[in-house]
Structure 1
Amino acid sequence: MVLVTLTGSIVGVSYYRAKQQVNNVLIILLQNNGKINSQINTQNVRKRFGPTFNQESLYQYRYFSVSFNSKGKQVALDNSHIVSVPRETIASLGYQVFKSGQQSGTVQSEVSSYAYKTQKKNGRTTIVFLDQSVIMESTNNIMKIGLILGITSLILFTLILIAISKRVIRPIVLADKRQREFVTNAGHELKTPLSIIKANNELQEMITGQTEWTISNEQQVDRLTKLINNLISLARLEEQQRLNLSVIEASEILEHATNSFKSVVAQENKKLKINISPSLRINAEENSFLELCNVLLDNANKYCDDGGAVSVAWIPDKKLKKVTLMVGNTYAKGKNINYSKFFERFYRNDKSRNSAKKGFGIGLSMAASIVDAFNGKIGVSYQKETIFFRATFKLIR
């Protein structure tokens, strides 16, 4: 972007300045009856060309002029400042411009390209032509050099980046890999002492019976076990470069997941609204898609208002190119929440999501990773006191 901007700026500024120079010379010619001579207003010229103006430089330009009366008859022709264009060609070019009625522009002849400008004064139309090839030639050379240098630099820098990029980002890649491996290995190591603690707690209950402390120990062990399992699942999902995707019957899997949540939702006096279009298939992995459905359903049920409703929809678009899994739950206090952070790992908003709710802020991060692995898109929105999570996939016919 830097190279393109730099090269484009050089080319653009060079072209603009060349056109401005042509325009200024034509204006000066019209102000001096189509001629550049010793009678020219030096002060006026200096305003147009700037303080670096040199009067001698005005005589480098090649130009000619033609005048017509109100009836279109040629009344004057001046070719004293150009030798490469015959009078017949000058007359023809002048008549061509006069008939077109254009005030300014460019005409092409066999010899060169000429910029022109028209002036009407006292019933007489004067057209001055300027050979812009000399001005544009130097500009074109600058533009060509700029483009060549820009393309050469782009190729050179690209080759350098290709050569060193792997070496530069290798520490970051290794650190990320070691972090995921650490989570997986630590998770497996933690499972052993947790199993021992749980077994000892059960043995204590057999000897002394259940107490407030043994019940609390069991709950915390189960909580830690679930957290470790979630972390391991997320780490494994990220370690896999690519899932083995295949065409799956997504509608059937979603129906199975939804049916398993019916009793859970009913026990908490909530309503479950289902709208699943049958026989819709996507390119995914069965177990991971089932995990996605369970995560979204569990999240919706967990944070749904008491006596509220959980909704599940699986509907294709009108063109039958994409299908959207939409899971929502009523949440009256969810108006002023930053939903963009919901997919961040371990994110929990205590103001909007009660900390008494069980969870670790990992589920939605897992859902986002799964959807990304399926080449889909996931998002969240809040409408009419309801939170909606939408996962969109390409529909396979």
Structure 2
Amino acid sequence: MLLVLGMVLFLVNMITYRNALIEVFNTLEFISKHSDSYLDESELIKFKDFEITPETQYETRYITVTVNDDNGLINYNNEHIAAIDESEIEEFISFVTVSRRQRGIFVYDGLTYAFMKVRQKQGNVKITIMDCTRNLSMVHFFVKFSFYIGALSILLLILLLSIFARKAVQPMVRNIEAQKQFITNASHELKTPLAVISANTEVIEMMSGKNEWTESTIKQVNRMSELISQLVVLSKLEEREDIVLTEVNISDEVNKVLTSFRSVAETQGKKLETSVTDGIIVKADEKGIHELINILMDNAVKYCDEEGTVKLTLNQKGKSAVLTVSNDYADGEGEDYSKFFDRFYRADESHNSEKKGYGIGLSMADSLVRMFKGKINVSYKKPQITFTVIL
């Protein structure tokens, strides 16, 4: 909208200036041809489209000069102009004689003049110079006025947009805050009944022994407790606006996480390949960076194909640290990777429990990376899916 307004004002000013120049040069041409003669009504009809009247010769301020091929002054007539006296004639006309153009505009002593050169039969050149200050000053005033109007309109538009945008966004902000508050409150409220269910199930097992029903109940209670914990962590992450970023040795944190996942990968029959550059420092939060690496490794091991390979690399690229975590994922073609960082999104839309997860981990990873002022993205090149973090 601002661009359109600017283009409209520019075009209007250009058209106005062009029309003013056309009017100036039409008048100048008339003066040049008839400065030494009187026009009768029949001759004036020829100039009716140029707003020429019998008074034009007397209203217009102009001077006529005749020069030879060497620009030497032959004669002049300054009866129709008062701003130029005889002592200034040669200096005044020098602005025109040095120009190779047949007509044009120049400024002298703060006033604007238009000139036109016409070669006469005798071989001399007649120069007509007309004062067009009044004609163009109105155009300049209009340009300045339209600029101020345009600037004021833009400011008013920005003000109105900000007011309406704030009003439009307020319900969304309230909804987001309400969702966060609901998650926090619901998480706390659910902890107590889950604890009671877990305790009662354990009592039943003590009295009647374990069976598939009690084991299933405890498994689902633990699953629900883990989900609640992740929701609380995610909610707190999004509320942390005053986090202080410090220098963290990300290489050390990566090695700590790898130590805990080597046995997990081996137990599941998956191969773990790593390449970690030592001593890489990033601006982050130590606990947060540990959690970020843990989430990416947990996701990679969990969704890696049977007997597949999980790879982790960490290296320095310029001033940034680049962490990549990839895993074999043969069924990755056709996935909508733009949704991988959405909360509760899972590639397995059935949300079955065959692979443990809730679709929260990658959303937490995205929040952590944004909190560290970094970037995270996901890509797929058969048969591997790769998560890349730049800090």
Tell me if structure 2 keeps the 8 A contact 1:26–1:128.
Answer: no
Q: Match of 1:317?
A: 317
Q: Distance in 2 between matches of 1:116 and 1:349?
A: 77
Q: Distance in 1 between matches of 2:251 and 2:55?
A: 80
Q: Match of 1:49?
A: none
Deviates more, 1:193-202 or 1:232-241: 193-202
Shift of 1:253: 0.9
Structure 2 segments unaligned to the other structure (5+ residues) = none
Shift of 1:295: 1.0
Q: Distance in 2 between matches of 1:304 and 1:207?
A: 41
Q: Distance in 2 between matches of 1:367 and 1:211?
A: 38
Aligned: 1:232 with 2:241: no
Instruction: Rate the CA distance shift 1:261–1:140 in 2: closer, same or farther, 3 A.
Output: same
Deviates more, 1:202-211 or 1:16-25: 202-211
Instruction: Rate the CA distance shift 1:252–1:104 in 2: closer, same or farther, 3 A.
Output: farther
Q: Match of 1:206?
A: 206
Q: Match of 2:108?
A: 109
1:365 to 363, 366, 379: 363
Q: For 1:193, what is the secondary structure of its paired residue?
A: helix
Q: For 1:316, what is the secondary structure of its paired residue?
A: strand
1:346-374, CA deviations, whole angstroms, 9 ceiling, x for partnerless residues? 12234799984322211111111111111
Shift of 1:382: 2.8
1:213-258, CA deviations, whole angstroms, 9 ceiling, x for partnerless residues? 2332222222211111111111111222222322222221121112
Amino acid aligned to 2:330:
A
Q: 1:250-269 maps to which residues of 2 (within 5 A)?
A: 250-269=250-269
2:22 to 21, 24, 27: 24
Q: 1:318-337 maps to which residues of 2 (within 5 A)?
A: 318=318, 321-337=319-335
Tell me if structure 1 keeps the 8 A contact 2:273–2:310.
Answer: yes
Rg larger in structure: 2
Q: Distance in 2 between matches of 1:353 and 1:78?
A: 98
Shift of 1:329: 2.3
Amino acid aligned to 1:332:
A
Shift of 1:54: 4.6
Shift of 1:292: 0.8
Shift of 1:139: 2.8
Tell me if structure 2 keeps the 8 A contact 1:302–1:357.
Answer: yes
Deviates more, 1:150-159 or 1:173-182: 150-159
Q: Match of 1:223?
A: 223
Q: Distance in 2 between matches of 1:206 and 1:363?
A: 35
TM-score if structure 1 supplies the norm length?
0.76
Instruction: Rate the CA distance shift 1:144–1:111 in 2: closer, same or farther, 3 A.
Output: closer
Q: Distance in 2 between matches of 1:267 and 1:120?
A: 102
Tell me if structure 1 keeps the 8 A contact 2:24–2:135.
Answer: no
Q: Distance in 2 between matches of 1:69 and 1:29?
A: 25
Instruction: Rate the CA distance shift 1:72–1:147 in 2: closer, same or farther, 3 A.
Output: closer
Shift of 1:56: 4.6
Instruction: Rate the CA distance shift 1:373–1:56 in 2: closer, same or farther, 3 A.
Output: farther
1:66-99, CA deviations, whole angstroms, 9 ceiling, x for partnerless residues? 6777776778977676543457867656655554
1:124-177, CA deviations, whole angstroms, 9 ceiling, x for partnerless residues? 978765544323322332333344455556667878999999888666544433
Tell me if structure 2 keeps the 8 A contact 1:118–1:126.
Answer: yes
Q: Distance in 2 between matches of 1:265 and 1:271?
A: 7
Tell me if structure 2 keeps the 8 A contact 1:14–1:139.
Answer: no
Deviates more, 1:154-163 or 1:195-204: 154-163
Q: 1:161-310 maps to which residues of 2 (within 5 A)?
A: 172-310=172-310
Q: For 2:269, what is the secondary structure of its paired residue?
A: coil
Amino acid aligned to 1:379:
N
Q: Distance in 1 between matches of 2:224 and 2:55?
A: 87
Shift of 1:265: 2.1
Q: 1:76-115 maps to which residues of 2 (within 5 A)?
A: 82-85=81-84, 96-97=95-96, 99-102=98-101, 106-115=105-114
Structure 1 segments unaligned to the other structure (5+ residues) = 47-52
Tell me if structure 1 keeps the 8 A contact 2:369–2:376.
Answer: yes
Deviates more, 1:64-73 or 1:240-249: 64-73
1:284-339, CA deviations, whole angstroms, 9 ceiling, x for partnerless residues? 21111111111111122222233332222222223xx2222222223334343332
Q: For 2:325, what is the secondary structure of its paired residue?
A: strand
Q: Distance in 1 between matches of 2:66 and 2:331?
A: 81
Tell me if structure 2 keeps the 8 A contact 1:14–1:143.
Answer: no
Q: Distance in 2 between matches of 1:333 and 1:80?
A: 94
CA RMSD of aligned residues (A): 4.2
Q: Distance in 2 between matches of 1:358 and 1:63?
A: 93
Tell me if structure 1 keeps the 8 A contact 2:95–2:106.
Answer: no
Tell me if structure 1 keeps the 8 A contact 2:28–2:115.
Answer: no
Q: Match of 1:50?
A: none
Aligned: 1:375 with 2:366: no
Q: Distance in 2 between matches of 1:312 and 1:62?
A: 84
Amino acid aligned to 2:221:
V
TM-score if structure 2 supplies the norm length?
0.77
Amino acid aligned to 1:210:
K
